[in-house]
Amino acid sequence: MTMVEEVVAIEEEINAVAAPPPNFSVVEDGVYRSSFPKPSNFAFLETLNLESIICLCPEPYPEENLEFLQSHNIRLFHFGIEGKTDLSQSIVKDTITEALKVLIDVKNHPVLIHCNSGKHRTGCLVGCMRKLQNWCLDSVFEEYKKFAGAKSRNTDLEFIESFDISNMRQCLYSIIYQYQGFASNKPRLLFRSGDNNVQKPQLTKV
């Protein structure tokens, strides 16, 4: 390649239009949310350098999405929840709990959470994560509603409010103590640590 060709190639790459999936957003450093990604969104997803994807839809994952994941070594965590499920069923709580465990494990970051619209199931999972981060319920609900828009569901808000994080927190305590010892004043957890430039979650004390 000549120098001119190289400059053109770099400029073309820089000028390529980025098309995030609808309802895409950063949740936390290394945690993203969106609607169901389509092939037109794959170029954008590449820029996230995903380690894994949490899909909350029960349908088989589309072949072209699977190919994208395979070619980029992205792990798929597939938790099937029906779109208009009765959220009071205990199986939903169990599924969200399992998804939450995957979500807060930094080994799986950067991770993208998605369902179909990125509103309800994704909103519930993110809401439960915010509870684990001790966000006040007003803020948790505000965030849920921002993404659900006119399709906000009270049953989802009730699910988030009633979701019991105490078991998971007990589990986290034991990890903190195990890794940091009782006397440490640095109970780092949940997210990447050791980089002063990245966001610190609620659980981190610097």
State which residue, 84 or 150, has the beta carbon closest to a copy of itself. 150
Question: Which two tokens mark 180?
Answer: 């940091």
For a copy of itself, which residue of 19, 57, 102, 168 counts as binding (CB under 8 A)? 19
The answer to whether the Cα torsion of 174, 179, 184, 190 is positive or negative is negative
The answer to whether the Cα torsion of 180, 182, 186, 189 is positive or negative is positive
Beta carbons within 8 Å of 55's beta carbon, 6+ residues apart: 61, 76, 77, 78, 79, 114, 115
Instruction: Select which of 55, 115, 124, 128 is catalytic.
Output: 115
Q: Rule CB under 8 A: which of 73-132 touch a copy of itself?
A: 109-110
By CB under 8 A, is residue 38 in contact with a copy of itself? no
- State the Cα–Cα distance between residues 150 and 26, nearest whole angstrom: 21
For a copy of itself, which residue of 154, 167, 178, 196 counts as binding (CB under 8 A)? 196
Contact residues: a copy of itself, CB under 8 A: 3, 6-7, 10-11, 13-20, 22-30, 32, 44, 47-49, 51, 109-110, 133-136, 138-139, 142-143, 146-147, 149, 169, 173, 176-177, 182-183, 187, 192, 195-206
**Active site residues per annotation:** 115
